[in-house]
Structure 1
Amino acid sequence: MSNLVIWIEIPAADIERAVKFYSTIFEQEFQIVDTPERRFALFPMGQDGAGGSIVQIDGFEPGDKGTLAYLSTGEDLTPVMNRINAAGGKVVTPKTDLGGGFGFYAMFNDTEGNTLALHSSN
Structure 2
Amino acid sequence: MKRVINWFEIPAVDFERAVRFYETVMQTTLRREEMGGARFGIFPYEMPATSGAVTQMAALKPGSDGTLIYLDATPDVDAVLGRVEAAGGSVVLQKTLVSEDIGYIGIFIDSEGNRVGVHAPK
Partner of 2:59: 59
User: Is 2:42 the partner of 1:42?
Assistant: yes
**Number of residue equivalences:** 122
Cα deviation for residue 50 of structure 1 reads 1.7
Q: Secondary structure at the match of 2:116?
A: strand
Q: Secondary structure at the match of 2:86?
A: coil
User: Is 2:104 the partner of 1:85?
Assistant: no
Superposed CA deviations along residues 21-48 of structure 1, whole A, max 9, x for unmatched, are 0011111112321234201110111223
Q: Secondary structure at the match of 1:107?
A: strand
Q: What do you get for the CA RMSD once the two structures are aligned?
A: 1.2
Contact preservation (8 Å) 1:3, 1:49: no
Q: Secondary structure at the match of 1:78?
A: helix
TM-score of the aligned structures, taking structure 2 as reference length? 0.94
Identity percentage of aligned residues: 37
| Structure 1 runs not aligned, ≥5 long | none
User: Is 2:31 the partner of 1:31?
Assistant: yes
Contact preservation (8 Å) 2:31, 2:44: no
Partner of 2:117: 117
Which amino acid is the alignment partner of residue 39 of structure 1?
A: R
TM-score of the aligned structures, taking structure 1 as reference length? 0.94
Q: Secondary structure at the match of 1:32?
A: strand
Distance, in Å, in 1 between the alignment partners of 2:106 and 2:62 is 19
Bigger proportion of residues as strand: 2
Partner of 1:19: 19
| Structure 2 runs not aligned, ≥5 long | none
User: CA, structure 1 residues 66+37, in 2 after alignment: closer, same or farther (shift >3 Å)?
Assistant: same
Distance, in Å, in 2 between the alignment partners of 1:35 and 1:47 is 21
Which amino acid is the alignment partner of residue 119 of structure 1?
A: H
Contact preservation (8 Å) 2:9, 2:53: yes
